[in-house]
Structure 1
């Protein structure tokens, strides 16, 4: 047998080995067939691409650590505190049942907080975070998708170095792909001061990890286990609108003070253990609230290690539960079918559904993909606005008059399927009213409405671009 025939036969043996693996993954039928055809038609390249990009799930070594933390008394994922129980008992029966369902979807008991603060724009967030770090007494845990070596990134590093020098435990976790170009040496001064730094990476051959396209998109900061920040902002100057090449930038983070910080600490502890194998077991990382709490908060961690897509399921349920209003902003809008249907059904039953999408984006191809869904949504009565003042990167949802959701998850396939994400749903009428004012301003003054009749006569070339890019959405 010639050398060329040997290469060909080996390629088809790889294909025969890959096909059972694809079938056993139980992907959606279209995805399964697409990958099977890819490995058949392109024996080497298709198989390589499948094992690099086709794996959407990852098993994390966290179960033993979770058991040890639970046994230590530090963690109690499913236990509702007395303060939270008081707030639940005050809810009307339908709303209490809704909260209990969110508990079950996310496999985390609802928690509560003493206070909340909505931070709109990077300048507000960076100032608030720096102040809290300066006030920290025990520990500071920081998790970002993007961290740049610019004025803002260096400023936060100095806050952390000062905290470490006065004896505060400092841990920083940054996604290696999201922060591509940032050198590890950037954090050397922090480590020399006593802090700790780690890259989050799902591709690590020495640990038998080969999933190059799965990313930690979470933005989570925890101070002393009592204060937490969650939202869409990373650590870079563009998030404060200070990059002249990018221009104005709209984003939202929420500060939560109270019991939910303990829940969110568990998420950080799992991520930190995944990359460092250090177990955060001590009780001081998970303090119990000592004063009555005022607002309910449901934590929603999600990722490729969560087989049930809890953020997507939670969003679908909240959309289906809305009575008169759903206003949302999507940094990137490429919805999966359940979310698309939930938006359409909400509008069809008379709910005021408004969607704000950024006309300008740091990923411009996704803008075209998102527009391929506009016609269908507009016909059902969804009101769509394109933010044209700059980049709107916020991921917030307002449901009726009491609930708001803030987090890192975009309304797209990557967030719902491939990334590690974190959202929180907060029952706080005051913050809901504040978010209503922010969104009303964006709808009325900083955006242009998409009108169905005008949208239908857009150029044929634009329609073709949208349709060609739509199947590639998971890779963009």
Structure 2
């Protein structure tokens, strides 16, 4: 016969030995009250499983410097250059469009060493077809090296086409280096790595997740999508290497995404991020001028490339979003597939809308991540109440990650507007200071808006209790994503 009294004794003993010490650890980490409360609640409700969940997904490594890669000579040089640029900004030759956002530029220089580059020509790529055509064309022209860093690299039609092209270029003498996230590209077979290495292509997984190392690595993923060709041409945005970005998904329909092609000095900034990550995964340094050409400072569109992740002291991308929104005077047009903002960014959006700034947000009506969709929906009502205009994209699934602020500030990158991207993942965004570029990106936003349903507060409040319940549950756990 089962002895419930003995079971209770052992259960509470385990609780005392596990959940309570872990609870103290969480409190001592001094996270936001929202994240702390969410983890403590989980420990109380399911103490044993909650401890395991925290050990795998919840530990905070930013302050512990687990990912320190600042020994690189290139990063030391970058810090020196960024400090000098910060001092010299007042006397810089940049135009009034750039000067108007001096506070954002200074912030990114301070929190992430993001140098302001001027010699850039930019092209917005509005879908997978246009993006892969531009990528393949640029790689075909490569003379010295091709560097790729991706969250997802699939062995499907487009992935195999790209692999064949990279092998072809390697045989022509072009150096090829690839970083793939170990979790995002988990489906890659060992034969894929063997084939590339047999053709003298260097490829490394980012933070392999293998037991027992799983507990310290699984939650920190490289979500960057970077290509750098010959140090002069770069690509950044939301599109990974997979067929879905061209063909869409059966349950969701067409895949709407946004990518950015950069020719100029900002490609060198992307290269600096790649070289740091390359050093992290391989222990090899890429410091030759053929990889890192000197900035030309030629005429062109001003761009700052900001990297974010546990390897930085500050949440640089989140801070730049916050400063951009709270300083907006006319409009904030935001597109994100997942909307789970940290409290400060949620307050920034509401404050801007209440200040009579035209704040519009587009999120997908259908999502590839069910719980994330419910979490996104949980923020809709309070943002509508503040005057934010909401649009649910209906023409398939929108995976774009971009924002336009006022007349001459815009950002495109890999970061979603959620806790994970801002606080946990390794991300990269391009911040662009140009009236013409912002105008182009705004046209894409208005086209996306035309393919979306405007959400009305009075109608949204009428949804059923079941929908509200699951959204509330997703909202509670969203800080732990």
Q: Same fold (TM over 0.5)?
A: yes
Alignment deviations for residues 263-282 of structure 1 (CA, whole Å, 9 cap, x no partner): 21111112122221112222
1:153 matched to 2:145? The reply is no
Match of 1:273 in 2: 279
- The change in CA–CA distance for 1:473 and 1:9 in structure 2 (over 3 A counts) is closer
Q: Which residue of 60, 69, 83 corresponds with 1:62?
A: 69
1:468 matched to 2:481? The reply is no
Give how far 1:218 is off. Answer: 0.8
Q: Distance in 2 between matches of 1:362 and 1:88?
A: 42
Q: Distance in 2 between matches of 1:207 and 1:266?
A: 28
Q: Which residue of 38, 52, 57 corresponds with 2:56?
A: 52
Match of 1:428 in 2: 434
What is the 5 A alignment of 1:369-408? 369-408=375-414
Match of 1:177 in 2: 183
Residues 395 and 410 in structure 1, CA contact (< 8 A), matched pair in contact too: yes
Give how far 1:205 is off. Answer: 6.3
Alignment deviations for residues 275-294 of structure 1 (CA, whole Å, 9 cap, x no partner): 21112222221102447131
Q: Distance in 2 between matches of 1:92 and 1:261?
A: 19
Match of 1:126 in 2: 132
What is the 5 A alignment of 1:343-354? 343-354=349-360
Match of 2:3 in 1: none
Note the aligned Cα RMSD (angstroms): 2.8
Residues 202 and 210 in structure 1, CA contact (< 8 A), matched pair in contact too: no
Give how far 1:130 is off. Answer: 0.8
For 1:146, what is the secondary structure of its paired residue?
A: coil
Q: Which residue of 247, 254, 268 corresponds with 1:241?
A: 247
Q: Which residue of 451, 460, 466 corresponds with 1:455?
A: 460
Q: Which residue of 352, 365, 372 corresponds with 1:366?
A: 372
Give how far 1:166 is off. Answer: 1.0
- The change in CA–CA distance for 1:14 and 1:318 in structure 2 (over 3 A counts) is same
What is the 5 A alignment of 1:185-224? 185-201=191-207, 203=209, 210-224=216-230
Q: Distance in 1 between matches of 2:401 and 2:37?
A: 33
Give how far 1:72 is off. Answer: 7.8
Q: Distance in 1 between matches of 2:106 and 2:89?
A: 16
What is the 5 A alignment of 1:295-314? 295-314=301-320
Q: Distance in 1 between matches of 2:89 and 2:171?
A: 36
- The change in CA–CA distance for 1:75 and 1:367 in structure 2 (over 3 A counts) is same
Q: Distance in 2 between matches of 1:96 and 1:345?
A: 21
Q: Distance in 2 between matches of 1:73 and 1:326?
A: 31
Q: Distance in 2 between matches of 1:114 and 1:20?
A: 50
Match of 1:23 in 2: 27
- The change in CA–CA distance for 1:286 and 1:35 in structure 2 (over 3 A counts) is same
Between Structure 1 and Structure 2, how many residues are aligned?
A: 471
Residues 80 and 111 in structure 1, CA contact (< 8 A), matched pair in contact too: no
- The change in CA–CA distance for 1:295 and 1:363 in structure 2 (over 3 A counts) is same
What is the 5 A alignment of 1:67-82? 68-69=73-74, 76-80=81-85
Give how far 1:318 is off. Answer: 0.4
Give how far 1:374 is off. Answer: 1.3
Match of 2:264 in 1: 258
- What TM-score comes out, normalization by structure 1 length? 0.90
1:225 matched to 2:237? The reply is no
User: Which structure 1 segments of 5+ residues have no match?
Assistant: none
Residues 77 and 263 in structure 1, CA contact (< 8 A), matched pair in contact too: no
Alignment deviations for residues 227-286 of structure 1 (CA, whole Å, 9 cap, x no partner): 111111101111113554542111001111111112211111121222211122222211
Q: Distance in 2 between matches of 1:94 and 1:74?
A: 24
For 1:63, what is the secondary structure of its paired residue?
A: coil
